[in-house]
Amino acid sequence: QVQLVESGGGLVQPGGSLRLSCTASGTINVMGWFRQAPGKQRELVATIGTYGTRNYAGSVKGRFTISRDNTKNTVYLQMNNLTAEDTAVYYCNAGNFVYSPGNYWGQGTQVTVSS
């Protein structure tokens, strides 16, 4: 059983930045971030494979950057130029495919973009 521990959420003003981190208890092929806003379905934000293959949602391309440190089993999501539409609970995910979620989820971290 893989455990995922997230950190880095919070309140930020529009145009601001946040960095999310997620550490897995073991080695994972694909790690990524999904988010769920109130009243909406959970959606893929960004994923990254072991060797750096990345997949981004169109709404975050050019603003968010996903990276990972395989030595620490940790994935990062650098979020820049945040808007109110980015407000959601962000969930770390671990699996085997960059285009779909894996079976393991973190507990979620709230990101709120508001002035």
Pairing of strands 109-113, 10-12: parallel
Residue 97: C-alpha distances to residues 12, 32, 94 (Å): 31, 10, 9
Note the pLDDT of residue 90: 98
Bridge-partner residues for 67, per DSSP? Answer: 76
Q: How confident is the model at residue 1 (pLDDT cuts 50, 70, 90)?
A: confident
Q: Tens of pLDDT along 17-40?
A: 999 999 999 889 999 999 999 999
Note the pLDDT of residue 54: 96
